[in-house]
């Protein structure tokens, strides 16, 4: 008696399985491209416009303040070696890094013109 062999999976089912893996790979690559950034955004505001530069923190811990004064609320902290985008604006000894985000200018080193 002849042995019955099951039907192999149809070509369309195999292609669907392969395309699922392709879709997963594309999604992973897209996420990698969109998340690849060395900037720290303490955000809420739009991207800075005009004169911008990068600054590197040279204090062990640096308070990010809501305004250009020691009396204003600390809204975040940066650590030594952190590099963030900043604006050219300096007021009362504080450098603006974003909307309502300021750091003491004496504790950051600018990279390039700023």
Is 91 part of a structural domain of the chain? yes
Decide if 98 is inside a domain. yes
In the chain (114 residues long), the average pLDDT of successive 10-residue segments reads 60 71 76 56 47 90 95 95 92 92 94 73
Task: Name the 3-class secondary structure at 6.
Answer: coil
- The pLDDT of residue 41: 47
The structural domain count of the chain equals: 1
Q: What is the secondary structure of 33-73 as a DSSP string? A: HHH--------SSPPP-SSEEEEEE-SSEEEEESSSSTTSP
State the residue range of the domain holding 100.
52-111
CATH value at residue 102: 2.30.30.40
Rounded-to-integer distance, Cα 88 and Cα 52, Å: 6
């Amino acid at each position: 008696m002849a042995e019955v062999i099951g039907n192999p999976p149809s070509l369309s089912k195999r292609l669907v399985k392969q395309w699922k893996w392709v879709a997963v790979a594309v999604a992973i690559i897209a996420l990698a491209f969109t998340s690849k950034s060395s900037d720290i955004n303490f955000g809420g505001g739009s991207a800075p416009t005009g004169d911008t530069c990068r600054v590197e923190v040279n204090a062990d811990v640096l308070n990010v303040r809501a305004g250009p004064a020691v009396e204003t609320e600390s809204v975040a902290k940066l650590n030594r070696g952190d590099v963030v985008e900043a604006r050219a604006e300096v007021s009362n000894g504080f450098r603006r890094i974003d909307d309502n985000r300021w750091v003491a200018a004496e504790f950051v080193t600018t990279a390039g013109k700023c």
